[in-house]
Structure 1
Amino acid sequence: MAEPEQPSPPEEVAQYVIDGLNRQDADKLRRIASYSNALANWKEAAGATDQRSGENEDDQAADQDDRPSAVPAKASTVVKKINNNRYYYWQWRDGDKIRSKYKGPVRDE
């Protein structure tokens, strides 16, 4: 009998989340799934939207609009500090490598 194929994760899930899930055993994954469903229900009931730090829905929509074609949908936005300046970069995993692409300076408001 052939071994079952591992399912593919959704593209919009950050790679660090996928990596963490892949390290869990089946029982923990079922408990995580139960928690995830309960959390989603709570957020819907509370009227909460995506809680990414410091970003609102307009910022997230802009993220999608300004994503270069070379940057995959699963890429996350990270902040890197270089010479006391902060910059946004798109970052994603490509096989065993972490890829980055410059996005722009962090504008403190």
Structure 2
Amino acid sequence: MSDSPPTPPQDVPSGIAERLTDQSQNVLRDIARYADELAEHREREARLAEQDERSEAIEAEADDLPDGVPGKATITVKEINDHRYYYWQWREGDQVKSKYKGPVESDE
């Protein structure tokens, strides 16, 4: 370990870095624990927000499902004679069921 103090990462604002140099090692360790917990909290919040967005998208898509297509269905693309088509697909027991949705637009 070097005798000189560490250099703060470039992403740390200079005001924060300067304030940290004035703190005792106990306070620095408390700050480090708090920073780790805060980072974990923000990551968890971001994951939950992403899950909510996905759930809303799935629910919105489920509202658009035609009759006979369950909410667990996914969209797949099948190519038939050089043409591409969307199909709803889902599993019922050992069988995979499909229902035609429409052609794939050429700009996709």
TM-score scaled by structure 1? Answer: 0.45
Larger helix share, 1 or 2: 2
Larger Rg: 2
Indicate the structure whose relative CO is greater, using CA pairs within 8 Å and at least 6 residues apart.
Answer: 1
